[in-house]
């Protein structure tokens, strides 16, 4: 099947759109990818509704605009593959997470699947996490089954690390056993710190972190978070952590310390793996941060490589994953598992919206 996947991640930077051909199991052919940035004003509107748990006028307005921006991203993606556009079978629409609290059985991704189907003229699978949460799962991460398909031909154990706003890891064993969970903050705290102190959306290339010094006392305080002691599967809301412990620090030292916190959380995941990975493969925006990648290489003591080292586009992985998951939905194949989210039984997630064409 031809499938488009859409991802608006916790970094709140824009929409990633990917077109793949897949059977939802082993075959994955990459055809096109397009990334569309949000205007800063719209990103601020998303930030303003994070944490909300009830529908209100502004949330409805942001959801509609977000959906229409996703439709535009689909349009631009398909412009690059003219001739195949009419044969796309499905769109996997993640939407944007504004609140995630699995401990009380709640997760909310805004995004109007019916509107997107109408705008694109393609069937849409949306609301990908709710079925998992209803089945007792964390609702995240959902990409592990896709990560496992990508790693089929590579030596194992291997860890696939996605560093977005939140970081999550998929451990794949020699017999293709899976374990997955959110490790802790990815880019979110670093981005928030940078935005608050400089007005820029990120510490580009880890430049501030590399100029700063890690405050050991603050780092130790951050690493005392109870989350690191929770047994996986486990997942996080983007706003579960904040930068308050770093407030007394100089800007560069805060960036260095928060970067070290992300690294420390990822290193702590080793405590839960059945066997240590022989290598770590990194996707998501964090792989572009040299300070973060160098720190991970030092902390983990094995090769830590961007997804490009295996021939894949590390920016496209999460969008491709939701295209893959949408096909699995159409084939009634499970998209989450007890080992990856804690759901009671393998579960097929997502709601199908047929376009009325």
Summarised one tens digit per residue, pLDDT across range 223-270 is: 999 999 999 999 999 889 999 999 999 999 999 999 999 999 999 999
Determine how β-strand 96-101 pairs with β-strand 106-110: antiparallel
* Spatial separation of the C-alpha atoms in residues 29 and 43, rounded to whole Å: 32
What is the separation, in whole angstroms, between the first and last Cα of the chain?
19
What contacts 291, CB < 8 A, 6 or more positions away?
Answer: 203, 205, 206, 209, 210, 256, 259
* Spatial separation of the C-alpha atoms in residues 316 and 283, rounded to whole Å: 8
Domains and CATH numbers, the chain: 2-141+315-353 (3.30.420.40), 153-310 (3.30.420.40)
- The predicted structure's pLDDT at residue 85: 64
Query: Which parts of the chain register pLDDT below 50?
Result: none
Both tokens of 187, joined, read 């880019």
Closest CA to 51 of 243, 261, 237: 237
Closest CA to 159 of 300, 350, 1: 300
Summarised one tens digit per residue, pLDDT across range 60-111 is: 999 999 999 999 999 999 998 876 667 999 999 999 999 999 989 999 999 9
Percent of the chain at pLDDT exceeding 90: 95
* Alpha helix stretches (DSSP H) within 22-126: 40-49, 57-79, 113-120
Closest CA to 167 of 154, 177, 152, 180: 180
- The predicted structure's pLDDT at residue 234: 97
Closest CA to 184 of 272, 80, 110: 272
- The predicted structure's pLDDT at residue 27: 97
- The predicted structure's pLDDT at residue 208: 98
Write down the pTM of the prediction: 0.94
- The predicted structure's pLDDT at residue 356: 84
* Spatial separation of the C-alpha atoms in residues 112 and 110, rounded to whole Å: 7
116 touches 4 (CB < 8 A): no
- The predicted structure's pLDDT at residue 11: 85
């Amino acid at each position: 099947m031809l499938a488009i996947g859409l991802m608006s991640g916790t970094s709140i930077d824009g929409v990633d759109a990917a077109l793949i051909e897949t059977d939802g199991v082993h075959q994955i052919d990459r055809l096109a990818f397009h990334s569309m940035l949000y205007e800063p004003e719209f990103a601020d509107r998303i930030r303003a509704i994070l944490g909300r748990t009830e529908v209100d006028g502004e949330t409805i307005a942001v959801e509609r605009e977000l959906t229409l921006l996703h439709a535009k991203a689909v349009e631009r993606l398909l412009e690059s593959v003219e001739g195949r556009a009419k044969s796309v079978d499905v769109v996997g629409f993640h939407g944007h997470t504004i609140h995630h609290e699995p401990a009380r059985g709640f997760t909310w991704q805004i995004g109007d699947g019916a509107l997107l189907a109408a705008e694109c003229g393609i069937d849409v699978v949306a609301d990908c996490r709710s079925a998992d949460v209803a089945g007792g799962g964390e609702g995240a991460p959902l990409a592990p089954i896709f990560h496992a398909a990508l790693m089929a031909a590579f030596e194992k154990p291997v860890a696939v690390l996605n560093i977005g706003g939140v970081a999550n890891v998929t451990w794949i064993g020699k017999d293709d056993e899976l374990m997955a969970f959110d490790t802790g903050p990815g880019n979110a705290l670093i981005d928030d710190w940078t935005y608050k102190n400089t007005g820029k959306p990120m510490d580009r290339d880890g430049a501030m972190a590399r100029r700063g010094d890690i405050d050991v006392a603050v780092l130790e305080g951050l690493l005392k978070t109870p989350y690191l002691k929770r047994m996986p599967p486990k997942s996080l809301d983007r706003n579960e952590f904040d930068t308050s412990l770093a407030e007394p620090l100089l800007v560069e030292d805060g960036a260095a310390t928060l970067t070290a916190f992300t690294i420390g959380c990822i290193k702590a995941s080793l405590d839960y793996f059945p066997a240590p990975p022989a290598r770590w493969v990194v996707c998501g925006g964090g792989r572009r941060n040299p300070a973060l990648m160098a720190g991970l290489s030092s902390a983990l003591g094995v090769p830590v490589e961007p997804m490009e080292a295996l021939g894949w586009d590390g920016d496209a992985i999460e969008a491709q994953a939701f295209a893959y998951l949408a096909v699995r939905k159409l084939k009634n194949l499970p998209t989450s598992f007890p080992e990856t989210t804690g759901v009671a039984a393998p579960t097929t997630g997502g709601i199908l919206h047929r376009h009325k064409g």
